[in-house]
């Protein structure tokens, strides 16, 4: 009974002292105290479909404030480059493969608001001497980028932030979520200059950073080394361990209660990790279901086209006459054929392979935004892109294909511009 009473008193005293320390931690932190400025440089690593030589460079500056021994908030500006190269291989819907040696070059800049949380209490029972802080961080970032994809000869293939001729235009933008770990070492006794190293992983929300080489997002990392300078009065530093402040007023008696508290804390920390793992497992299952749905959709499209062919043959005494079997819709000022468009064209290629007597007319159209000459050229390039995909990737003989460029001559909709930015596929 006496041991239980003593343990309860120690626990209560520890809570009171800890609360007092936390109040002092904040009350002594004036507006001009505990600011810091950092300059860093290092390597970026691009997680793109092109796996070779993915390292490049980045440089950043930061300004922040340490609120107490645990939490700091900072504003980061990062400018850098992402590179990768290698053989790009993509399996088409008919089982064939598209192969090419490509290089990607991404110029980007980022403004991020970062919260930094000290992990010293997890690794040390007493305040370290030279090491100032081990910490984790996370936040949100506004990212601007420009991506260029070239072939092995350096010729422009496609890009984001580039026009059709490969000339730079305005950057794309998106949101990223940086998370990572860092460590800071003291370089002087006054705690003014510090050596800082960080590793950060960027979850990118935009799927355009790799210019559409993959259907998912291409994330990247930034590993840096730099100098951290403390500004103002350092009333509180993350080097201070809470247990050092509490130890003066709490007895050293450690019993089963402490061990249970540690186990409980570990359970609380592990539970979110288990939940996150369960969510990731569910996400894999959902992706598999989506793939199955896409395969069913392609089969349904192929069957629908076959039925339409049979009806047209019956109506034209066994022949096919001017049957507009599909339309491929393009983005504004773009000739890029997305994976979704490729699936539609693959369906058309399958129909042609199963019906050797059919021929296909590829008709380019455009909206009325811009000059007529430019739109005429743009609609022709769109038709040529579909033509090249059918011949080069799907193996359709060129003598079964023909092209026609209508430009603005055959608008499908008066006020819906994107409907007119299309390539019609007409069976003959």
Question: Do 304 and 350 meet the contact criterion of CB atoms below 8 Å apart?
Answer: no
Whether residues 80 and 198 fall in one domain: yes
Distance set, CA 334 to CA 169, 302, 381 (Å): 13, 27, 9
Over range 121-136, report the average pLDDT. Answer: 79
Could you tell me what percent of the chain has a pLDDT over 90? 26
Cα 178 to its chain centre, rounded Å, is 10
Q: Strands 360-365 and 220-231: what pairing?
A: unpaired
Whether residues 14 and 124 fall in one domain: yes
The pLDDT score that the predictor gives to residue 81 is 95
The residues, any chain, with a CB within 8 Å of residue 427's CB and separated by 6 or more, are: 309, 312, 320, 322, 323, 325, 358, 359, 360, 361
125-134, 236-245, 323-332: least confident range: 236-245
Indicate the residue among 220, 253, 286 that finishes a domain.
253
Is the pLDDT confidence value at 50 over 90?
A: no
The pLDDT score that the predictor gives to residue 173 is 92
pLDDT digits (tens, 9 = 90+) for 138-171: 999 999 999 998 988 888 988 899 998 889 999 9
- Number of domain units in the chain: 2
More confident residue, 380 or 20: 380
Neighbours of 242 (CB within 10 A): 19
Whether residues 246 and 305 fall in one domain: no
Whether residues 340 and 211 fall in one domain: no
Q: Which of 125-134, 221-230, 340-349 has the highest mean pLDDT?
A: 221-230
Position 273 in a domain: no
Is the pLDDT confidence value at 63 over 90?
A: yes
Closest CA to 67 of 33, 95, 108: 33
Domain of residue 355, CATH code: 3.30.1330.60
What are the tokens at 13? 């005293």
Is the pLDDT confidence value at 44 over 80?
A: yes
Position 59 in a domain: yes
Is the pLDDT confidence value at 322 over 50?
A: yes
Position 326 in a domain: yes
Distance set, CA 70 to CA 67, 227, 228, 237, 248 (Å): 8, 20, 17, 8, 20
Neighbours of 224 (CB within 10 A): 23
pLDDT digits (tens, 9 = 90+) for 328-384: 888 888 888 888 888 888 888 888 888 888 888 888 888 777 788 888 888 889 889
Position 270 in a domain: no
For 354-371, b/e burial (b = at least 16 CB within 10 A) is: eeeebbbbbbbbbbeeee
- Output phi, psi for 305, to 5 deg: -65, -40
Position 267 in a domain: no
The residues, any chain, with a CB within 8 Å of residue 420's CB and separated by 6 or more, are: 365, 366, 367, 368, 408, 411, 412, 413
Is the pLDDT confidence value at 20 over 50?
A: yes
Confidence of residue 72 (pLDDT cuts 50, 70, 90): very high
Closest CA to 79 of 62, 64, 63, 103: 62
Indicate the residue among 229, 253, 277 that finishes a domain.
253
Whether residues 107 and 177 fall in one domain: yes
CA dist 52 and 172 (Å) reads 25
More confident residue, 300 or 46: 46
What are the tokens at 198? 């960080």
Whether residues 248 and 306 fall in one domain: no
Domain of residue 175, CATH code: 2.40.160.20
149-158, 195-204, 295-304, 392-401: least confident range: 295-304
Position 365 in a domain: yes
Whether residues 240 and 337 fall in one domain: no
Over range 386-406, report the average pLDDT. Answer: 89
Whether residues 9 and 94 fall in one domain: yes
Confidence of residue 267 (pLDDT cuts 50, 70, 90): confident
When the pLDDT of each residue in the chain is averaged and rounded to a whole number, the result is 79
Indicate the residue among 225, 253, 281 that finishes a domain.
253
Over range 89-100, report the average pLDDT. Answer: 78
The domain in which residue 146 lies consists of 2-253
Whether residues 241 and 338 fall in one domain: no
Confidence of residue 52 (pLDDT cuts 50, 70, 90): confident
Position 284 in a domain: no
Position 289 in a domain: no
Question: Do 217 and 209 meet the contact criterion of CB atoms below 8 Å apart?
Answer: yes
Whether residues 16 and 153 fall in one domain: yes
Whether residues 116 and 37 fall in one domain: yes
Whether residues 189 and 91 fall in one domain: yes
Is the pLDDT confidence value at 296 over 70?
A: no
Q: Is the pTM of this model over 0.75?
A: no
């Amino acid at each position: 009974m006496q041991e239980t009473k003593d343990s309860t008193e120690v626990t209560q005293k520890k809570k009171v002292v800890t609360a007092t320390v936390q109040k002092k931690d904040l009350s002594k932190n004036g507006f001009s105290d505990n600011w810091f400025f950092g300059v860093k440089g290092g390597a970026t690593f691009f997680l793109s479909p092109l796996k070779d030589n993915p390292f490049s460079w980045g440089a950043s500056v930061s300004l922040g404030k340490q609120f107490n021994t645990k939490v700091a908030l900072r504003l980061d500006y990062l400018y850098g480059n992402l590179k990768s190269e290698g053989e790009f291989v993509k399996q088409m819907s008919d089982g064939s493969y598209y192969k090419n040696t490509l290089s990607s070059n991404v110029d980007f800049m980022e403004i991020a608001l970062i919260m930094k949380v000290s992990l010293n209490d997890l690794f040390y029972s007493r305040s370290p001497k030279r090491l100032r802080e081990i910490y984790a961080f996370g936040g949100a970032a506004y990212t601007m980028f420009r991506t260029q994809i070239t072939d092995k000869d350096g010729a422009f293939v496609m890009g984001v932030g580039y026009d059709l001729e490969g000339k730079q235009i305005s950057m794309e933008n998106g949101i990223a979520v940086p998370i990572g770990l860092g460590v800071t070492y003291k370089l002087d006794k006054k705690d003014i200059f510090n050596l800082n190293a960080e590793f950060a992983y960027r979850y990118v929300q935009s799927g355009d950073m790799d210019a559409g080489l993959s259907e998912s997002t291409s994330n990247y990392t930034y590993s840096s080394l730099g100098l951290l300078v403390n500004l103002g009065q350092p009333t509180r530093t993350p080097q201070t361990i809470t247990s050092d402040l509490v130890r003066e007023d709490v007895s050293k008696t450690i019993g089963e209660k402490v061990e249970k508290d540690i186990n409980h804390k570990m359970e609380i920390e592990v539970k979110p990790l288990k939940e996150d793992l369960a969510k990731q497992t569910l996400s894999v299952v959902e992706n598999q279901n989506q793939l199955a749905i896409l395969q069913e959709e392609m089969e349904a499209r192929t069957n629908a086209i076959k039925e339409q062919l049979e009806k047209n043959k019956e109506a034209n005494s066994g022949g096919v006459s001017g049957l507009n079997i599909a339309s491929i819709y393009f983005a504004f000022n773009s000739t890029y054929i997305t994976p979704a468009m490729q699936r539609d064209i693959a369906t058309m290629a399958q129909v042609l392979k199963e019906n050797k007597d059919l021929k296909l007319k590829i008709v380019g159209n455009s909206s009325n935004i811009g000059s007529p000459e430019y739109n005429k050229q743009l609609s022709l390039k769109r038709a040529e892109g579909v033509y090249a995909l059918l011949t080069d990737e799907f193996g359709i003989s060129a003598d079964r294909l023909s092209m026609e460029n209508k430009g603005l001559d055959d608008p499908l909709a008066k006020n819906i511009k994107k409907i007119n930015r299309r390539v019609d596929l007409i069976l003959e």
